[in-house]
Amino acid sequence: MLQTPRGARQVAALGLVFGAVLLAGAATGAWGEPGGPPPGPSADPARPAAVDGLPADPAGSALSEQQAEHLLVAGGDRWGAYYSAQEYAEFSQGLGGRYLGVGLSVGRGEDGATEVSRVAPAGPAAAAGIAAGDRLLRIGADQADHLPVTEVVARLRGRGDERRAGSEVTVEVRRGAGEVRELRLRRALLDSQQVTAEHLDKGVLRITVRAFTSGVADQVRAALRAPHTGVLLDLRGNSGGLVDEAAGTAGIFLDGGPVGSYQDRGGTRELTAPPGGDQRTPLVVLVDGGTMSAAELLAGAMQDRSRAVLVGSRTFGKGTVQQPSRLADGAVLEMTVGRYYTPAGRSPDGTGLAPDVPAATGEDADALALRVLDGIGTRA
């Protein structure tokens, strides 16, 4: 399938677990509520200049979808995207912790295979018998392995008339060397359940954060009330989200000091942890190629502040911040306004973050993380 420029940008911006919308620009406070006033103009020099008579800051403008796309293409904005009023309302709902999808998270294995990494309990995928570790072979008529993961996620979510509860998507899956199963999944509005916690051996608490939607920092804080001797913070496959939620989560493990910074409407906003965070409990952060955006900000803060050991593989490398502008018809044009930086001034954009302890190809990253955590506890 050949994507249009608009489709490619939307897929890039929305390549997220369960298709939840997690737009880094929302952290600037410019999103507001659906139907609210458009955000104010930005003086940030990173914002593209006017193109062919189109405004550099389109807030309140009457732009057609084609004009909006032209503005993004001419400005070379890789992460910019145009959203209809309906899409914007759905995405805002996703930031509140709900999403439209089939309850399926996917990733790409070392051999290029598209694999199911997680299945949401009680979701359509779970009801159809899909389990983590299954290989996703096809979506509709197309081979999943021939599509970017972000495109796979977008198709599971649905586009256009398919983006509604009750619409169907056909997939083919296979478990191990078993038979190929063709399944029809019916999309539903689901609770995202971005934070889960489980106790492992020796008092270790694993906290998995799949995305930074509203309230995630409080959920992590609540999970930590359970007795534990060490923490595995699993950010693998975390596509980012609200920067303030990521910074708030980082602050749980820091006793004050910098978390990072990002550009906001022409200035630089410093993210600082409040005093009183836990800096003593041994902490390992698991990362991989699906760790991106706000999740990279959190991981970078832990690494720069020598608070945690990063284990796994290099992160995705999305270090830009987007800011949305509401158009006259209620649509939203999201444009890149700058980068964010870790406390040491690093931007992961384009390069990602290298783990302190890389997992070799085929190595069990979970087991490696536990060994590293055990070593940290021994030295503490």
| pLDDT at 21 exceeding the cut of 80 | no
Amino acid, res. 294: A
Shared-domain flag, residues 231 and 375? yes
- Count Cβ atoms below 10 Å from residue 61 Cβ, excluding itself: 18
Residue 222: partners with Cβ closer than 8 Å, 6 or more residues away? none
Structure tokens at 37: 């006033």
Instruction: Please give the residue that has the higher pLDDT: either 192 or 140.
Output: 140
In a domain, 226, yes or no: yes
Structure tokens at 89: 């309302």
Q: What is the CATH number of the domain that holds 276?
A: 3.90.226.10
Domain boundary among 38, 63, 98: 98
Domain boundary among 191, 224, 246: 191
| pLDDT at 11 exceeding the cut of 50 | no
- The CA–CA distances, whole Å, from 333 to 13, 71, 318 equal 12, 10, 19
| pLDDT at 309 exceeding the cut of 90 | yes
Instruction: Please give the residue that has the higher pLDDT: either 113 or 224.
Output: 224
In this prediction, residues 135-144 reach a mean pLDDT of: 93
Q: pLDDT tens across 60-109, in order? A: 677 777 777 777 777 778 788 887 877 777 666 555 556 778 988 888 77
- State the average pLDDT for the chain: 80
Shared-domain flag, residues 118 and 151? yes
Please state the pTM of the whole predicted model: 0.68
Q: pLDDT tens across 213-270, in order? A: 888 999 999 999 999 999 999 999 888 888 889 999 999 999 999 999 987 767 888 9
In a domain, 329, yes or no: no
Residue 358: partners with Cβ closer than 8 Å, 6 or more residues away? 311, 312, 313, 314
Domain boundary among 137, 160, 191: 191
3 state DSSP class of 371: helix
Shared-domain flag, residues 210 and 357? yes
Structure tokens at 197: 């916690």
Instruction: Give the 3-state secondary structure of 284-335.
Output: EEEECCCCCCHHHHHHHHHHHCCCCEEEECCCCCCCEEEEEEECCCCCEEEE
Shared-domain flag, residues 253 and 361? yes
Q: Which domain holds residue 282?
A: 195-320+336-379
In a domain, 325, yes or no: no
In this prediction, residues 164-192 reach a mean pLDDT of: 91
pLDDT of residue 95: 55
pLDDT of residue 173: 97
Nearest to 254 by CA among 228, 233, 234: 233
Q: pLDDT tens across 323-355, in order? A: 788 888 888 888 888 889 999 999 999 999 999
In this prediction, residues 22-49 reach a mean pLDDT of: 29
Shared-domain flag, residues 220 and 311? yes
pLDDT of residue 328: 83
In a domain, 326, yes or no: no
In this prediction, residues 46-73 reach a mean pLDDT of: 64
In this prediction, residues 283-300 reach a mean pLDDT of: 95
In a domain, 328, yes or no: no
Shared-domain flag, residues 32 and 110? no
Shared-domain flag, residues 289 and 352? yes
In a domain, 330, yes or no: no
Shared-domain flag, residues 119 and 245? no
| pLDDT at 6 exceeding the cut of 60 | no
Measured CA angle at 348 (ends 321, 157), to 5 deg: 55
In a domain, 262, yes or no: yes
pLDDT of residue 56: 60
| pLDDT at 375 exceeding the cut of 80 | yes
Q: What is the CATH number of the domain that holds 165?
A: 2.30.42.10
Number of domains in the chain: 3
Shared-domain flag, residues 294 and 224? yes
C-alpha–C-alpha distance, residues 186 and 125, integer Å: 9
C-alpha–C-alpha distance, residues 250 and 229, integer Å: 18
pLDDT of residue 153: 82
DSSP per-residue codes, 171-202 = EEEE-TTS-EEEEEEEPEEEE---EEEEE-GG
**Helix (H) or strand (E) segment spanning residue 377:** helix 365-379
Amino acid, res. 251: G
Query: What is the Cβ-side half-sphere exposure of residue 164, based on CA atoms within 13 angstroms?
Result: 6
In a domain, 343, yes or no: yes
Shared-domain flag, residues 226 and 162? no
Shared-domain flag, residues 357 and 236? yes
C-alpha–C-alpha distance, residues 133 and 117, integer Å: 6
pLDDT of residue 64: 73
| pLDDT at 174 exceeding the cut of 50 | yes
Sheet holding 195-199, edge to edge: 195-199, 204-209, 230-234, 283-287, 309-312, 357-358
Residue 325: partners with Cβ closer than 8 Å, 6 or more residues away? 38, 39, 57, 58, 59, 60, 332, 333, 334, 335
Nearest to 329 by CA among 14, 67, 9: 67
Q: How confident is the model at residue 380 (pLDDT cuts 50, 70, 90)?
A: low
Shared-domain flag, residues 23 and 128? no
